[in-house]
Amino acid sequence: MALVLNGVPWFDDRGEVVNAHGACLVDDGGRYYLFGEHKTDDENRFDGVGCWSSTDLATWTFERVVLPVQPDGPLGPGRIGERPKVLRSPTTGAFVMLLHSDDLGYTDPVVGVATCDTVAGEYRWHGPLLFEGEPVRRWDLGTFQDDDGTAYLLVHEGDVYRLSDDCLVAEEKVASQVAPGGESPAMWQVDGTYHLLFSGKTSWERNDNYVLSAPSVRGPWRHAGTLAAPGTLTHDSQCSFVARVRRGDEVVPVYMGDRWSFPHQASAATQVWLPLLVEDGRARLGEYWPAWDPETGERVDLPGVVAGDRFVSDDPATRFEVEVDLPAGGGRLAVLGTSDSASGYARVDLVGEDGEARSHLVDLYSKVTADGPVYVSPALPAGRWTVRVAPTGEVPAWWKKDGTRFGSSGAKVTVEGVAVLT
């Protein structure tokens, strides 16, 4: 069974982490294409836009870095490139990517444009998106394409621009400042009601994302509460996009969110994807699901601990270790543990009886305490595997320009044991 697994690293056909953040999903020719920031583990700089494809939202094939670092200019070396969003022009058929470009100090923002004739080819950088002849100098962005093909640019604070038919120019501002203090916008439409999603400004930290609703993209927009239950911090994630996912004869909205992991965004940041509900005209997320079936849209319960004793430590000289036998046909190994506000990074090592070894970094920090899978391996062959989990001693923490500290208060690692997924 193909499962969407939340809050754990995803692995592609190469066995590499799916490093796609601030992402979007495009359905083309019966295949889904995931575009996202190809992050680094050393600093928050642009390292390209990556693309992966899938038919089931669970198994991912690496396509390529579709927009690499440019020789110079807004996406040149030492710059920022964030929140790539890809649309298809209803008139030209070209694929158009919009993204935020900036310097490392976030003092030179611009919304940029790149295009490609094919969904997963190499995109050509054109430069800034223009509105009334001037570059759109905004940062957090999203996009939305209505049923009639009309495309919109969404930016922080709640401005919405209608794009030209070729999606290369912002032609009209149709809403202004409808969400002061809001960032990471996303929009979707169900039964004639438009829903506009925002996160609060808390740096890489998660918060209770909220929704505005309206009968038209032009408004009037009204606040419709938090997306998930208050205090859950949107299931410990920040919105990035709302995808349109096929389910039988229906197309249903799916929330896509990031669990950032500063500073190790490339190796330890993860995703939270969940079906969106609309009840009595109100959009919301239900309870958190560690795993769900994208074919049915229903939760799938994962197995419990089959091996190992509870382990709690912040000392890199200590480790959890257990041997687990995978049955004929192989399977995946899941490390079950606890994430909380005093937890840090762990190194997970898997060693097969033939000497095959895999090593991955996992982030156990969460402002909201949660129990469940903190790591699920790629598919492994049958046989005996040794699972080791050790604290690295590093604390996930970061500071805003004004000195405000975010992140964990410690480097604790809690492991309950190992489960087997077949």
Yes or no: say if 414 and 394 are a contact pair by the CB < 8 Å rule.
no
Local confidence band at 184 (pLDDT 50, 70, 90 cut-offs)? very high
CATH architecture entry for 311-421: Sandwich (2.60)
pLDDT for res 402: 82
- Record the tokens describing residue 399, joined without a space: 């500071």
Query: Residue 358's CB: how many other CB atoms inside 10 A?
Result: 16
Cα–Cα distance for residue pair 218/106, rounded to 1 Å: 29
CATH architecture entry for 4-299: 5 Propeller (2.115)
Mean pLDDT of 162-169: 98
pLDDT tens-digit series, residues 122-160: 999 999 999 999 999 999 999 999 999 999 999 999 999
Mean pLDDT of 407-415: 97
Torsion of Cα atoms, 249 then 255 then 256 then 262, to 10°: -160
* Residue 165 to residues 88, 176, 361, Cα–Cα distance (Å): 10, 21, 44
Range in 96-100, 122-126, 276-280 the model is least confident about: 276-280
Nearest CA to 293 out of 254, 329, 259 is that of 254
- Record the tokens describing residue 37, joined without a space: 């920031």
What is the SS3 assignment for 78? coil
Cα–Cα distance for residue pair 99/48, rounded to 1 Å: 11
- Record the tokens describing residue 115, joined without a space: 């295009």
Yes or no: say if 257 and 289 are a contact pair by the CB < 8 Å rule.
no
Average pLDDT, the chain: 96
What value, to the nearest 5°, has the Cα angle with vertex 140 and ends 74 and 11? 90
Higher per-residue pLDDT: 402 or 51: 51
- Please classify residue 166 by burial: count the beta carbons closer than 10 Å to its beta carbon, then call 0-12 exposed, 13-18 middle and 19+ buried: middle
* Residue 157 to residues 185, 188, 359, Cα–Cα distance (Å): 9, 17, 41
Higher per-residue pLDDT: 42 or 384: 384
Local confidence band at 400 (pLDDT 50, 70, 90 cut-offs)? confident
Looking at residue 16, what DSSP letter applies?
-
Yes or no: say if 298 and 375 are a contact pair by the CB < 8 Å rule.
no
Residue 401 has pLDDT above 90, yes or no: no
pLDDT tens-digit series, residues 302-331: 999 999 999 999 999 999 999 999 999 999
Yes or no: say if 324 and 306 are a contact pair by the CB < 8 Å rule.
yes
Yes or no: say if 203 and 222 are a contact pair by the CB < 8 Å rule.
no
- Record the tokens describing residue 372, joined without a space: 């469940």
- Please classify residue 93 by burial: count the beta carbons closer than 10 Å to its beta carbon, then call 0-12 exposed, 13-18 middle and 19+ buried: exposed
pLDDT above 70 covers what percent of the chain? Answer: 100
Gyration radius from the chain CA atoms: 21
**Identical fold between 4-299 and 311-421:** no
Mean pLDDT of 62-87: 96
Cα–Cα distance for residue pair 26/8, rounded to 1 Å: 22
The span from the first CA to the last CA of the chain, in angstroms, equals 9
Q: Are strands 21-28 and 169-175 parallel, antiparallel or unpaired?
A: unpaired
Local confidence band at 31 (pLDDT 50, 70, 90 cut-offs)? very high
pLDDT for res 322: 98
Cα–Cα distance for residue pair 405/290, rounded to 1 Å: 29
58 φ, ψ to 5°? -125, -35
pLDDT tens-digit series, residues 366-379: 999 999 999 999 99
Residue 33 has pLDDT above 80, yes or no: yes
Local confidence band at 1 (pLDDT 50, 70, 90 cut-offs)? confident
- Record the tokens describing residue 134, joined without a space: 């001037």
Cα–Cα distance for residue pair 203/368, rounded to 1 Å: 17
Domain boundaries of the chain, sorted by first residue: 4-299, 311-421
Torsion of Cα atoms, 232 then 236 then 241 then 245, to 10°: -80
Token pair 């209505």 is found at 146
Residue 251 has pLDDT above 80, yes or no: yes
pLDDT above 90 covers what percent of the chain? Answer: 93
What value, to the nearest 5°, has the Cα angle with vertex 366 and ends 10 and 307? 60
